[in-house]
Protein backbone atom coordinates (compact mmCIF):
# COMPACT_ATOMS: atom_id res chain seq x y z
CA UNK A 1 0.00 0.00 0.00
CA UNK A 2 1.34 3.46 -0.80
CA UNK A 3 0.28 6.92 0.27
CA UNK A 4 -1.49 7.77 -3.00
CA UNK A 5 -3.83 4.78 -2.85
CA UNK A 6 -4.24 4.80 0.94
CA UNK A 7 -7.77 5.31 2.18
CA UNK A 8 -8.91 6.10 5.70
CA UNK A 9 -10.76 3.09 7.10
CA UNK A 10 -11.46 4.03 10.70
CA UNK A 11 -12.13 7.38 12.35
CA UNK A 12 -9.02 7.15 14.51
CA UNK A 13 -5.38 7.19 13.46
CA UNK A 14 -2.29 6.17 15.41
CA UNK A 15 1.13 7.04 13.96
CA UNK A 16 4.01 4.99 15.36
CA UNK A 17 7.74 5.63 15.12
CA UNK A 18 10.06 2.65 14.70
CA UNK A 19 13.62 3.04 16.09
CA UNK A 20 13.67 3.36 19.87
CA UNK A 21 9.88 3.38 20.00
CA UNK A 22 8.56 0.08 18.65
CA UNK A 23 11.95 -1.47 17.92
CA UNK A 24 14.62 -1.78 20.59
CA UNK A 25 17.38 -0.67 18.23
CA UNK A 26 18.67 2.66 19.53
CA UNK A 27 20.54 1.56 22.64
CA UNK A 28 22.40 -1.17 20.84
CA UNK A 29 23.36 1.09 17.92
CA UNK A 30 24.71 3.85 20.17
CA UNK A 31 26.27 1.71 22.88
CA UNK A 32 27.89 -0.78 20.53
CA UNK A 33 28.46 1.20 17.31
CA UNK A 34 28.33 5.02 17.31
CA UNK A 35 30.26 5.74 20.52
CA UNK A 36 32.95 3.05 20.23
CA UNK A 37 33.61 3.97 16.58
CA UNK A 38 34.21 7.60 17.64
CA UNK A 39 36.66 6.49 20.36
CA UNK A 40 38.55 4.44 17.79
CA UNK A 41 38.54 7.04 14.99
CA UNK A 42 39.85 9.82 17.25
CA UNK A 43 42.07 7.66 19.48
CA UNK A 44 40.22 8.48 22.72
CA UNK A 45 40.85 5.19 24.54
CA UNK A 46 42.40 6.94 27.55
CA UNK A 47 39.01 8.52 28.46
CA UNK A 48 36.85 5.82 26.93
CA UNK A 49 34.38 5.13 29.75
CA UNK A 50 33.54 8.75 30.50
CA UNK A 51 33.30 9.62 26.83
CA UNK A 52 30.98 6.71 26.04
CA UNK A 53 28.75 7.60 28.98
CA UNK A 54 28.50 11.15 27.69
CA UNK A 55 27.87 9.94 24.12
CA UNK A 56 24.94 7.87 25.35
CA UNK A 57 23.58 10.77 27.40
CA UNK A 58 23.62 13.05 24.35
CA UNK A 59 22.09 10.55 21.95
CA UNK A 60 19.82 8.44 24.14
CA UNK A 61 18.96 9.84 27.54
CA UNK A 62 18.50 13.62 27.28
CA UNK A 63 16.55 16.12 25.18
CA UNK A 64 19.00 15.68 22.31
CA UNK A 65 17.89 12.03 21.98
CA UNK A 66 17.61 11.10 18.33
CA UNK A 67 19.56 14.01 16.87
CA UNK A 68 21.34 13.62 13.56
CA UNK A 69 24.55 11.60 13.92
CA UNK A 70 26.79 14.44 12.71
CA UNK A 71 25.22 16.94 15.09
CA UNK A 72 25.79 14.44 17.92
CA UNK A 73 29.38 13.96 16.79
CA UNK A 74 30.10 17.69 16.64
CA UNK A 75 28.59 18.18 20.08
CA UNK A 76 30.57 15.30 21.62
CA UNK A 77 33.88 16.24 20.00
CA UNK A 78 33.46 19.87 21.02
CA UNK A 79 33.11 18.79 24.65
CA UNK A 80 36.04 16.36 24.34
CA UNK A 81 38.16 19.16 22.88
CA UNK A 82 37.44 21.30 25.94
CA UNK A 83 37.58 18.60 28.58
CA UNK A 84 40.10 15.94 27.53
CA UNK A 85 42.27 16.51 24.47
CA UNK A 86 42.48 18.87 21.49
CA UNK A 87 40.41 17.76 18.49
CA UNK A 88 41.87 19.13 15.30
CA UNK A 89 39.39 21.16 13.25
CA UNK A 90 36.51 20.75 15.71
CA UNK A 91 35.31 24.34 15.25
CA UNK A 92 34.90 23.71 11.51
CA UNK A 93 32.90 20.56 12.18
CA UNK A 94 30.65 22.34 14.69
CA UNK A 95 30.03 25.19 12.24
CA UNK A 96 29.23 22.74 9.43
CA UNK A 97 26.87 20.72 11.64
CA UNK A 98 25.06 23.94 12.58
CA UNK A 99 24.80 25.40 9.11
CA UNK A 100 24.79 22.67 6.46
CA UNK A 101 21.32 22.21 4.94
CA UNK A 102 22.02 18.49 4.66
CA UNK A 103 23.84 16.27 7.14
CA UNK A 104 24.72 12.97 5.50
CA UNK A 105 27.71 11.06 4.19
CA UNK A 106 27.23 12.72 0.80
CA UNK A 107 27.25 16.14 2.45
CA UNK A 108 30.48 15.31 4.33
CA UNK A 109 32.06 14.26 1.05
CA UNK A 110 31.24 17.69 -0.34
CA UNK A 111 32.84 19.31 2.71
CA UNK A 112 35.98 17.23 2.11
CA UNK A 113 36.09 18.36 -1.51
CA UNK A 114 35.59 21.99 -0.51
CA UNK A 115 38.07 22.14 2.38
CA UNK A 116 40.32 19.06 2.27
CA UNK A 117 40.17 19.22 6.08
CA UNK A 118 41.12 16.17 8.10
CA UNK A 119 38.21 16.56 10.50
CA UNK A 120 35.73 15.92 7.68
CA UNK A 121 37.73 12.95 6.42
CA UNK A 122 37.62 11.48 9.89
CA UNK A 123 33.90 12.23 10.25
CA UNK A 124 33.18 10.34 7.03
CA UNK A 125 35.42 7.45 8.01
CA UNK A 126 33.63 7.28 11.38
CA UNK A 127 30.19 7.40 9.77
CA UNK A 128 31.05 4.58 7.38
CA UNK A 129 32.53 2.49 10.19
CA UNK A 130 29.30 3.03 12.16
CA UNK A 131 27.21 1.79 9.23
CA UNK A 132 29.37 -1.29 8.87
CA UNK A 133 29.20 -2.04 12.54
CA UNK A 134 25.39 -1.60 12.60
CA UNK A 135 25.06 -3.90 9.59
CA UNK A 136 27.16 -6.47 11.42
CA UNK A 137 24.78 -6.52 14.42
CA UNK A 138 22.96 -9.83 14.54
CA UNK A 139 19.44 -9.49 13.20
CA UNK A 140 17.96 -11.17 16.25
CA UNK A 141 19.33 -8.41 18.48
CA UNK A 142 17.15 -5.81 16.72
CA UNK A 143 13.85 -6.76 18.37
CA UNK A 144 10.63 -5.00 19.25
CA UNK A 145 10.11 -3.91 22.87
CA UNK A 146 7.98 -6.14 25.01
CA UNK A 147 4.28 -5.48 24.50
CA UNK A 148 4.54 -3.80 21.10
CA UNK A 149 2.87 -6.58 19.15
CA UNK A 150 0.04 -6.92 21.65
CA UNK A 151 -0.41 -3.16 21.79
CA UNK A 152 -0.54 -2.74 18.03
CA UNK A 153 -2.81 -5.76 17.53
CA UNK A 154 -5.27 -4.30 20.03
CA UNK A 155 -5.10 -0.76 18.63
CA UNK A 156 -5.49 -1.95 15.06
CA UNK A 157 -8.98 -3.28 15.82
CA UNK A 158 -9.99 0.27 16.71
CA UNK A 159 -7.80 2.63 14.70
CA UNK A 160 -5.78 2.88 11.52
CA UNK A 161 -2.08 2.41 12.18
CA UNK A 162 0.70 4.03 10.19
CA UNK A 163 4.44 3.77 10.75
CA UNK A 164 6.07 7.21 10.64
CA UNK A 165 9.82 6.75 10.75
CA UNK A 166 12.89 8.62 9.54
CA UNK A 167 14.87 5.42 9.10
CA UNK A 168 15.58 3.53 5.91
CA UNK A 169 12.34 2.14 4.47
CA UNK A 170 13.68 -1.30 3.65
CA UNK A 171 15.28 -1.77 7.06
CA UNK A 172 12.05 -0.80 8.82
CA UNK A 173 9.99 -3.09 6.61
CA UNK A 174 12.30 -6.07 7.20
CA UNK A 175 12.41 -5.57 10.95
CA UNK A 176 8.64 -5.18 11.30
CA UNK A 177 7.92 -8.09 8.99
CA UNK A 178 10.25 -10.42 10.86
CA UNK A 179 8.32 -9.98 14.09
CA UNK A 180 4.86 -10.08 12.53
CA UNK A 181 4.21 -6.42 13.27
CA UNK A 182 3.34 -5.45 9.70
CA UNK A 183 0.06 -7.39 10.08
CA UNK A 184 -1.09 -4.59 12.36
CA UNK A 185 -0.06 -1.70 10.13
CA UNK A 186 -1.95 -0.02 7.28
CA UNK A 187 0.87 2.04 5.79
CA UNK A 188 4.61 2.45 6.18
CA UNK A 189 5.97 5.97 5.73
CA UNK A 190 9.70 6.45 6.00
CA UNK A 191 12.48 8.86 5.01
CA UNK A 192 11.57 8.39 1.34
CA UNK A 193 8.41 10.45 1.89
CA UNK A 194 9.92 13.30 3.89
CA UNK A 195 10.04 14.47 7.49
CA UNK A 196 7.82 13.00 10.19
CA UNK A 197 5.85 16.24 10.37
CA UNK A 198 5.25 16.09 6.63
CA UNK A 199 4.13 12.44 6.84
CA UNK A 200 1.60 13.17 9.61
CA UNK A 201 0.34 16.13 7.58
CA UNK A 202 -0.19 13.89 4.56
CA UNK A 203 -2.17 11.44 6.68
CA UNK A 204 -4.40 14.23 7.98
CA UNK A 205 -5.26 15.06 4.37
CA UNK A 206 -6.90 11.63 4.20
CA UNK A 207 -9.70 13.00 6.36
CA UNK A 208 -8.91 12.30 10.03
CA UNK A 209 -9.96 14.86 12.64
CA UNK A 210 -6.89 16.13 14.49
CA UNK A 211 -8.36 15.22 17.86
CA UNK A 212 -8.68 11.61 16.73
CA UNK A 213 -4.98 11.19 16.02
CA UNK A 214 -1.89 10.62 18.12
CA UNK A 215 1.75 10.18 17.30
CA UNK A 216 3.53 7.53 19.37
CA UNK A 217 7.27 8.19 19.60
CA UNK A 218 10.33 8.18 21.82
CA UNK A 219 12.24 11.35 20.92
CA UNK A 220 11.75 15.14 20.90
CA UNK A 221 11.60 14.97 17.09
CA UNK A 222 8.43 12.87 17.35
CA UNK A 223 6.91 15.30 19.83
CA UNK A 224 7.71 18.23 17.50
CA UNK A 225 6.15 16.44 14.52
CA UNK A 226 2.95 15.94 16.54
CA UNK A 227 2.92 19.56 17.71
CA UNK A 228 3.45 20.90 14.17
CA UNK A 229 0.32 19.04 13.09
CA UNK A 230 -1.67 19.81 16.21
CA UNK A 231 -2.25 16.13 16.99
CA UNK A 232 -1.72 14.35 20.31
CA UNK A 233 1.56 12.78 21.41
CA UNK A 234 1.98 9.51 23.26
CA UNK A 235 5.56 9.00 24.47
CA UNK A 236 7.38 5.71 24.81
CA UNK A 237 9.70 6.55 27.70
CA UNK A 238 13.32 5.49 27.30
CA UNK A 239 14.29 2.88 29.95
CA UNK A 240 10.53 2.40 30.64
CA UNK A 241 9.45 1.13 27.23
CA UNK A 242 7.68 -1.96 28.52
CA UNK A 243 5.53 0.09 30.91
CA UNK A 244 4.83 2.64 28.18
CA UNK A 245 3.57 -0.04 25.81
CA UNK A 246 1.47 -1.59 28.56
CA UNK A 247 -0.19 1.79 29.14
CA UNK A 248 -0.59 2.28 25.40
CA UNK A 249 -2.75 -0.81 25.41
CA UNK A 250 -4.50 -0.38 28.75
CA UNK A 251 -5.22 3.34 28.62
CA UNK A 252 -3.97 5.54 25.76
CA UNK A 253 -5.97 4.03 22.89
CA UNK A 254 -9.20 4.08 24.90
CA UNK A 255 -8.59 7.71 25.91
CA UNK A 256 -8.34 8.59 22.24
CA UNK A 257 -11.56 6.75 21.44
CA UNK A 258 -13.40 8.37 24.34
CA UNK A 259 -12.26 11.86 23.34
CA UNK A 260 -10.31 12.08 26.62
CA UNK A 261 -6.74 12.12 25.35
CA UNK A 262 -6.47 15.91 25.40
CA UNK A 263 -6.24 18.04 28.53
CA UNK A 264 -4.97 16.47 31.73
CA UNK A 265 -3.90 13.13 30.25
CA UNK A 266 -1.93 14.75 27.41
CA UNK A 267 -0.27 17.17 29.82
CA UNK A 268 0.70 14.35 32.15
CA UNK A 269 2.23 12.32 29.33
CA UNK A 270 4.21 15.29 28.01
CA UNK A 271 5.50 16.13 31.48
CA UNK A 272 6.61 12.52 32.03
CA UNK A 273 8.35 12.59 28.65
CA UNK A 274 10.24 15.82 29.41
CA UNK A 275 11.16 14.74 32.95
CA UNK A 276 12.46 11.41 31.66
CA UNK A 277 14.90 13.12 29.24
CA UNK A 278 16.45 15.59 31.66
Residues in the site for Mg ion, rule: CB under 5 A?
Answer: 17, 19-21, 218-219
The DSSP bridge pattern shows strands 213-217 and 232-235 to be parallel
Our CB check for Mg ion shows the closer of 155 and 238 to be 238
Indicate the residue whose CB is closest to Mg ion. Answer: 20
CB of 222 to Mg ion, least distance (A): 6
Question: Are residues 14 and 160 in contact, defined by beta-carbon separation less than 8 angstroms?
Answer: yes
CB of 77 to Mg ion, least distance (A): 24
Our CB check for Mg ion shows the closer of 19 and 202 to be 19
Q: Is 151 helix (H, G, I), strand (E, B) or coil?
A: helix
CA 212 to each of CA 41, 117, 258: distance values in angstroms, whole numbers, following the listed order: 47, 51, 10
CB of 66 to Mg ion, least distance (A): 6
Question: Are residues 80 and 94 in contact, defined by beta-carbon separation less than 8 angstroms?
Answer: no
CB of 197 to Mg ion, least distance (A): 14
Q: In what order do the strands lie in the sheet with 213-217?
A: 187-189, 160-164, 13-16, 213-217, 232-235
Our CB check for Mg ion shows the closer of 23 and 39 to be 23
Our CB check for Mg ion shows the closer of 21 and 225 to be 21
Spatial CB neighbours of 206, under 8 Å, sequence gap ≥ 6: 6, 7, 8
Q: Is 260 helix (H, G, I), strand (E, B) or coil?
A: coil
CB of 19 to Mg ion, least distance (A): 4
User: For residue 84, how many other CB atoms are within 10 A of its CB?
Assistant: 13
Our CB check for Mg ion shows the closer of 89 and 217 to be 217
Amino acid sequence: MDLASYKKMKDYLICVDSDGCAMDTMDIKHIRCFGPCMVTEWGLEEWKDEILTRWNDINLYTMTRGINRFKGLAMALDEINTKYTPIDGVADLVKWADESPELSNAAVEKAIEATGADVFKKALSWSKAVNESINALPFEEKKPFEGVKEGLAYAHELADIVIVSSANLQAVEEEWELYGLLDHVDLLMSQNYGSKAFCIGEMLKKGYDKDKVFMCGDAPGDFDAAKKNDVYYYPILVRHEKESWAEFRSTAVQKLLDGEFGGAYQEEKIQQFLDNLK
